[in-house]
Amino acid sequence: MKAEDTDWRSIVALYDVLLKIKPSHIVALNRAVGVGMVHGPEAGLAAVDAIDGLSNYHLRSSVRGDLLMKLGRNTEAEEELQRAIFLTDNLREKQLLAEKLNQIANMTKLKIGFADSQKADGSGRST
């Protein structure tokens, strides 16, 4: 089974049930990930932001950073990912979060390079 074959709608439905049976901030955060996969990053971000708590939990910042990154809100994404790195003691998690920061930096470089090539040409086409 590939990641893209995941039945995110069913996962969200199961988290909805779990929230009714045994509500918790962690269950709500996991549900928000699913919401982001089903309804898009804006909906996922709204679901994360609706959780009252977890402000010092690294996975909340990690999820927010990922969703912000998908929305192209790179400055905010960088801030959240840096916060997640600060909040975790797990070295492997720090490495994964740093890799995401590098992805953002590379995307920013590509955008700047593309914009510069259009300015240099003056025609709106890259040279």
Q: How far apart are CA 127 and CA 82, in angstroms?
A: 36
In a domain, 79, yes or no: yes
Handedness of CA 3, 65, 97, 18 (dihedral sign): negative
In a domain, 127, yes or no: no
In a domain, 126, yes or no: no
In a domain, 10, yes or no: yes
- Summarised one tens digit per residue, pLDDT across range 65-119 is 999 999 999 999 999 999 999 999 999 999 999 999 999 999 877 666 545 566 6
In a domain, 31, yes or no: yes
In a domain, 25, yes or no: yes
CATH number reported for the structural domain that contains residue 33 in this entry? 1.25.40.10
In a domain, 64, yes or no: yes
Q: Give the range of the structural domain holding residue 61, as residue numbers without chain letter.
A: 3-121
- Summarised one tens digit per residue, pLDDT across range 38-49 is 999 999 999 999
Provide the whole-model pTM.
Answer: 0.82
Number of independent structural domains in the chain: 1
